[in-house]
């Protein structure tokens, strides 16, 4: 707290890292693997961050690569 920031816990850092990965376009399955989640249910809590890219994903349907 000497720098004026509230104390952080390891869990806060994990959550921040997961959010950064999702925002960088890394899929939920991979994020769950990095975090060591044994079930996708644990990783689903980050799925709200993916919704920003849903419109782009739908727009790509039918496009040639």
Tell me: the pLDDT tens digits for 22-47?
888 888 899 999 999 998 888 888 77
Domain boundaries, the chain: 10-59
Q: Which pLDDT band, with edges at 50, 70 and 90, does 11 fall under? A: low
Q: Alpha-carbon distance 60 to 62, whole Å? A: 6
Given a cut of 60, is residue 1 above it in pLDDT? Answer: no
pTM: 0.62
Q: Alpha-carbon distance 62 to 47, whole Å? A: 24
58 CB burial (10 A radius; 0-12, 13-18, 19+): exposed
């Amino acid at each position: 707290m000497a720098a004026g920031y509230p104390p952080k816990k390891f869990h806060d850092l994990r959550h921040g890292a997961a959010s950064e990965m999702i925002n960088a376009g890394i899929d939920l399955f991979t994020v769950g693997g990095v975090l060591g989640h044994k079930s996708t249910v644990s990783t689903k809590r980050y799925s709200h961050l993916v919704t920003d890219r849903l419109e782009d994903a739908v727009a790509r349907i039918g496009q040639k690569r």
